[in-house]
Structure 1
Amino acid sequence: METLSPQVSISLIKSSISSLLGTKKLPIDRNEWEGYFDESGHLVKSKDFISSNILDRGLDPSVRPEAWKFLTGYYPWRSSWDERLTVDGMRRKSYDDLCRMYEKIQPLLETEHRGFMQARSFINSDLQRLYTRDLRGNAMVDKKQLEKILLLSYVCNVKAEYQQGFHEMLLLFQLLVEKEHEIYWLFQFFLQKTEHGCVIHIGVGKNILMLKAVIAFMDPLFAKYLDGRGSRVVQSLFPWFCLYFQRVFKSFDDVWRLWESALQPPALIILRALPWERGALAEVFLTGKPCRNFQVFVAYTMLQMVRDHILREAMSGDDILMVCNSLIDLDADELISEACSMYEHLMKYEDKIPGELKEFFT
């Protein structure tokens, strides 16, 4: 029988108490996180166990920088402390090699590559608008570092290149970890893990098509109404996907919280207790029915928040877009919970789900 450490036991007790009181579950803190590893740094819990807890409860800020290295694939889950030190050294060396390569070809890019100069212009323009100080006036952002990493990403990641708004996404990685090579690789691994779903010419268009398909399948009345307001109503929601909903939350912590859900293994999705069931200790797991592209259910859930208002007011296309853009200061835990519930509802009709939808989410 597995024996829990005192720290883990205390964390579980606190989590149970918070659930019984109807409050948010406490995130995984430093003591609990360290209890997931033995003295050599190997996992003593399964990857699925840890991932399910992260999705269900979130991460304490003190844990997030290290945990994200596992979630993104920066570190292998099956590794020791020493092996992770080796991996980090390899990542640093690879980044330094890329930087040296970039320095050598930069003059050629500036004179012969029109796309590079255009990308640099966009990056500089975006960074100029980026707020760089905290409430006390202290410098919060290293713009030079952001520019360097974004340009390097443009040159090395030919699939994603540069997209206006990437500077806002990269900022969260700069605030998450300290070392430059960690910022670069976490950003690259995040794009890969999310299948470049935020890139306009790769994943955004597909997300929009699947969002329309989900609306048509789950809410035909609303789908018919939206179609009657013009074919571009749903397409106009593309900024949600381009920034992975970064602008709809109260804080960076909420953004990280949602992004963590996007980094979970596709073989596991947790359905958190519904608002009226939060006193229950039981959690519903969906195993064996993976849910890729969870961001589409997040978008569908947000649309459902304003659905009745849209229909009641018989809104036009422009008004619909305006009310959707007014969805700000959302709570990530509540949004994830509701989106998981939407996914559960869809799975009740699994035998009737169109093949394209089923393939997209599994």
Structure 2
Amino acid sequence: MIGWGFMWKSEDMQGFFPVRSECQADVPRTRFKSRVGKTLSRRRWQAAFTKDGHLDMERVLRRIQRGGIHPSIKGEVWEFLLGGYDPDSTFDERTKLRNHRREQYYAWKEECQKMVPLVGSGKFVKMTIVSEDGQPLEESSADNQEWLVKDTVTDKRVLQWMLVLSQIGLDVIRTDRYLCFYESESNQARLWDVLAIYTWLNPDIGYVQGMNDICSPMIILLEDEADAFWCFERAMRRLRENFRTTATSMGVQTQLGMLSQVIKTVDPRLHQHLEDLDGGEYLFAIRMLMVLFRREFSFLDALYLWEMMWAMEYNPNNFSSYEKPENGTKQDPRLLKQYGKFERKYIQSGQNEQHHNTLAVFVVASVLETKNKRLLKEAKGLDDVVQILGGIAGNLDARKACKEALKIHEKFLRKANKQ
């Protein structure tokens, strides 16, 4: 056992998500390290289940919050973290639910395939296939594997969906292109399929650039495409409002407004400086919040940050509220140990509404605080702010960022309660 522990401790985490040789120099090395006794290992994960499959979520959350999840089990743990499965369910109950969801997904896929045969073919749309008024575009066939729309599209929902398929395709080609995984067109096509089907099912949100960055890890971590879809769907339950855009507002504005309030409360001098630079709306933080720091961290470190945040925000009612939203659920203060430590703070303060993804706001605040001195001294305009924050890419420590975020959260609650 000692020898195995030593091997694991020295394991090269980068090896789980190999980088193409020509991209090695441009990709930051991962800082995440599996730590014996802290990181959730496969052995610890399996030991957290009872004989019939009930999961000791409190134990799992404690381990994730201490040291993240070993790459070999990330996908299956994420399904629980995101509310995809009830920890109190049995192995048999989850197998039935998984099979039902797979059937549902492949039925949806077949529906989409009838409209666009490239769905599920291992290929994907790379060029616009219809005009704004629904007319087929014959010149697109060469880029779309000789496939083209044959008849005028008159159904508004179908047309709206078809118009965005090429944008999804262009984004897929750019997604995590430095990873060996995406050298395979069939893997790119799996990402495109999931995004295309999600877009078809959610016309109110549609597809927005950045969803590809959220979905990509699910495609890599979960072998069955349907499981990856449902994991992404659960992640989007938390994030979808960030992507909702109208003629007058962006969904992420709510979080930007909260970020402004947090910095104004915990660091009024920095807030005033940003205000003076016409940056008081914190628009420079949009990308961090939209795609959850995918560009600021290496691939594996971003995943580590996500699972740390999801564990800290975990609410045991998520599964039932997602499955039966019309009934709603009540948070029981007696079950506090089953909540993530961030979510627990809100329960204890008497605030019972959901706070999905607000920890991300405090992580951005922690990033700003680490650059406090430089921002105050060197930032003479918004371009300087963007440049200073741009320098953090690949140089952030996910564990420290979460730890500092919790400290800022404590400080914010303390100061806000005094006001």
Is this a same-fold pair by TM over 0.5?
Answer: yes
Taking the aligned partners of 2:45 and 2:283, their CA distance within structure 1 comes to 41
Contact between 1:132 and 1:140, CA under 8 Å: does it hold in 2?
no
The aligned counterpart of 1:84 is 94
Taking the aligned partners of 1:198 and 1:245, their CA distance within structure 2 comes to 14
The aligned counterpart of 1:296 is 361
1:296-328 Cα shifts (integer Å, max 9, x gaps):
001111111212101112421111112112211
Deviation at 1:150, TM superposition (A): 1.0
Deviation at 1:74, TM superposition (A): 1.9
Which of 383, 386, 392 is equivalent to 1:321? 386
Equivalent runs, 1:46-125 vs 2, <5 Å: 47-106=57-116, 112-113=155-156, 114-125=159-170
Taking the aligned partners of 2:216 and 2:181, their CA distance within structure 1 comes to 19
The aligned counterpart of 1:221 is 269
Q: Using a 3 Å threshold, how does the CA distance of structure 1 residues 318 and 351 change in structure 2: closer, same or farther? A: same
Taking the aligned partners of 1:54 and 1:109, their CA distance within structure 2 comes to 52
1:20-55 Cα shifts (integer Å, max 9, x gaps):
xxx896301111111111222123x3x333223322
TM-score of the two chains, using structure 2 as the length reference: 0.68
Aligned letter for 2:411?
H
After superposition, the CA RMSD in angstroms is 3.1
The aligned counterpart of 1:305 is 370
- Structure 2: give runs of 5+ residues left out of the alignment: 10-34, 117-148, 316-335
SS in 2 for 1:263: helix
The aligned counterpart of 1:356 is none
The aligned counterpart of 1:166 is 211
SS in 2 for 1:321: helix
User: Quick check: 173-182 or 67-76, which moved more?
Assistant: 67-76
Equivalent runs, 1:261-300 vs 2, <5 Å: 261-264=308-311, 265-266=314-315, 268-270=339-341, 286=345, 288-289=348-349, 292=356, 293-300=358-365
The aligned length equals 319
2:405 aligned with 1:339, yes or no?
yes
2:246 aligned with 1:199, yes or no?
no
2:286 aligned with 1:241, yes or no?
no
Contact between 1:270 and 1:340, CA under 8 Å: does it hold in 2?
no
Taking the aligned partners of 2:300 and 2:279, their CA distance within structure 1 comes to 35
The aligned counterpart of 2:190 is 145
Which of 157, 162, 165 is equivalent to 2:202? 157
Q: Using a 3 Å threshold, how does the CA distance of structure 1 residues 40 and 136 change in structure 2: closer, same or farther? A: closer
SS in 2 for 1:142: helix
Q: Using a 3 Å threshold, how does the CA distance of structure 1 residues 294 and 25 change in structure 2: closer, same or farther? A: farther
Taking the aligned partners of 1:71 and 1:140, their CA distance within structure 2 comes to 30
Aligned letter for 2:81?
L
Q: Using a 3 Å threshold, how does the CA distance of structure 1 residues 314 and 102 change in structure 2: closer, same or farther? A: closer
Deviation at 1:212, TM superposition (A): 0.7
SS in 2 for 1:247: coil
SS in 2 for 1:309: helix
Aligned letter for 1:35?
A
Taking the aligned partners of 1:32 and 1:89, their CA distance within structure 2 comes to 26
Q: Using a 3 Å threshold, how does the CA distance of structure 1 residues 172 and 141 change in structure 2: closer, same or farther? A: farther
1:218-239 Cα shifts (integer Å, max 9, x gaps):
1111111111111466113211
1:284-306 Cα shifts (integer Å, max 9, x gaps):
x8562476411100111111121
- Structure 1: give runs of 5+ residues left out of the alignment: 1-5, 15-22, 272-284, 354-362
